[in-house]
Chains A and B, each alone.
Chain A
C-alpha cells in the first residue's frame, strides 16, 4: 500500500477506483444481472427535511419493509455526514446505508487531505454523482433517493437538496420529504411550515408529518411506545449537528402530537 499507491488526489472514491478496485461496489455488474427481477430486499420509507430558524431539521421514521413484511423496526435513516451536514435516505436499505457511509468517508477524507472541508454545495454535488452512479441498479429496483441537508457556514443559512434516481439535484428553500410516505409528509408540512419556524415548533411539525405519513402509508413506521421506538430527528445549525434526544421526542410526541390527534384524529387544527 504504502509508497506504491498510484493515486495522489483528495477523492476517496477515485482512490478506491485506482488502488483498491476490489473494495468498490459496482452495482451494475455485481448486484443485478440483466433482465432479472430485483430480489426482495428491505426498503426504508419516509424521511423529511425542513429549513428552520437557525438551520435545518432532518427526520426519519424507523421502519424497513420487505414487500409486505417488516424487515426491521428500528433502522436508522438519518446520518450525520460531517460536522455540518446530514443525509436522510429512502429506498433500498442496503445501497442506501452504504451510500450514507460512503459519503461520510468521502467528505472526511477530503477534509483531512486538503485541510479544510468542502463547501456545502460541493458536498451536495458529490452525493449527486454517487446517486447517478447507482442508476443502473435503480433501473432494476434498487432505488436510492436521499435528502441532503446542512448548515452553510459561509452564507450562514440552513440548506437542503432533494435528488432523483438519475442524480438530479434540486435545492429546496422550504422543506421536502422522500420515500413511500413522502407525499403525505410533504402535504402535512405544506399546511403548517412557515419561514424561520422556531426549533420546538419545527420538531412538533416533523413528528406530525411523520405521524400523517404513517397514518396513510402502511410502509411508514409510526411511534412504537411499547418497544420505545421513536423517529430520529436531528438539527444542523452553526454549532453543528445535534440529534434530538429520545426523551424530548417522547415528550413532544405524547404531550402535543397525541393530544392534538385525540381531538382531531386526522391531524386537523
Chain B
C-alpha cells in the first residue's frame, strides 16, 4: 500500500492559484468601460472566436483564459438567464444573481477539483432609467478562485489587469461619448501589453450594451464600424 504524500492546504491552494494565474496570463486582457449611453466592452482578439457575448436583454459577458472553459461558462449563463426570464419575467433577470452563481460555481471547482478553471469573467449590466431600482450600470469581475468584486466606471480582466487599472485611474472620465470611451479602452489595453505599439481596428472585438436600443441592448460592432468609430 502506498502512503500518500502530505501536502498542506496552504500549499495546495497556492499551487492551484499559481497554475490558474499562469494560464490566464497567456491570453490578452479585456476591459469594460461605462460611456454616456451604456457600457462598451473591448478586447484584442484577431480570431473569429468571440470572447465577448450576449447573455440577456441588458447583460453581457466577457471572458479571458482558456477559451473552452469560459465559453462553456457563457453558454451556462445564457441557459440560466433564459430559463429564469421564461419562468418569471424578463426584468427578473439580473447580473448580480448571475455573477453570484458564477462565483459559487467557479469557487466550487477551485476547492474541490484537481484542476482549477483558468479563466476570469466580467458580467456587465446596463441600467434602464425607466425602471425604479434598475437605473445604474453594474459590472462584476469573477476570478478563477470564485472571488467576486463589483466595479464602477471600468472593469478589467486578464493577466495585465494591474496596468490597465493604473492607466484608467489616471485617464478615465465619466460619461464619455462612445468613440472616446473605445479609444480609451484600446489605449488601456495597449499600455498594459508591454512594448505594444498599438492595436489595429480589425484586431479589436468591440461590443456595446446601449441603453437607448429597444429590447436587447447588446450589439456587436463590425470591423468597419470599429474603424468608423475610432476614426
B86 interface contact, C-beta 8 A:
yes
Separation of A109 and B80 alpha carbons in the complex (Å): 11
Contact of A2 among B50, B101, B216 (CB under 8 A): B101
B83 close to A20 (CB less than 8 A): yes
Chain B's nearest CB lies how many Å from the CB of A106? Answer: 9
B78 close to A113 (CB less than 8 A): yes
Chain B's nearest CB lies how many Å from the CB of A245? Answer: 13
A5 close to B79 (CB less than 8 A): yes
Name A3's closest neighbour in chain B (CB-CB). B105
Separation of A15 and B87 alpha carbons in the complex (Å): 13
Q: How large is the interface on B (under 10, 10 to 19, 20 to 34, 35 or more residues)?
A: 20 to 34
Name B84's closest neighbour in chain A (CB-CB). A1
Residues of B within 8 Å of A3, CB to CB, are 76, 105, 108-109
A155 interface contact, C-beta 8 A:
no
**In the complex with contacts A23-B87, A112-B53, A12-B82 CB distance below 8 A:** yes
Residues of B within 8 Å of A20, CB to CB, are 83, 87
**In the complex with contacts A1-B101, A2-B101, A3-B105, A115-B50 CB distance below 8 A:** yes
One digit per residue, 1 when the CB lies within 8 angstroms of any chain A CB and 0 when it does not, for chain B 82-103 equals 1101110000000000000100
Separation of A20 and B88 alpha carbons in the complex (Å): 14
Separation of A10 and B165 alpha carbons in the complex (Å): 37
B80 close to A1 (CB less than 8 A): yes
Separation of A20 and B84 alpha carbons in the complex (Å): 11
Residues of A within 8 Å of B82, CB to CB, are 12, 15, 105, 108-109, 112
A window 20-49: CB within 8 A of B: 20, 23
Residues of A within 8 Å of B216, CB to CB, are 108
Contact of B79 among A15, A23, A102 (CB under 8 A): A15
B163 interface contact, C-beta 8 A:
no
A105 close to B80 (CB less than 8 A): no
A16 interface contact, C-beta 8 A:
yes
**In the complex with contacts A112-B53, A112-B54, A115-B50, A2-B85 CB distance below 8 A:** no
B55 interface contact, C-beta 8 A:
yes
Listed by A's residue number, 10 A-B pairs whose Cβ atoms lie within 8 Å are A2-B80, A2-B104, A2-B105, A3-B108, A5-B79, A12-B82, A12-B86, A15-B79, A109-B79, A113-B78
Which A residues are within 8 Å of any B CB, using their own CB? Answer: 1-3, 5, 7-8, 12, 15-16, 19-20, 23, 102, 105, 108-109, 112-113, 115
Give 12 new A-B contacts, CB below 8 A, not counting A1-B101, A15-B82, A23-B87: A1-B79, A1-B83, A2-B105, A7-B79, A8-B75, A20-B83, A23-B83, A23-B86, A109-B78, A112-B82, A113-B75, A113-B79
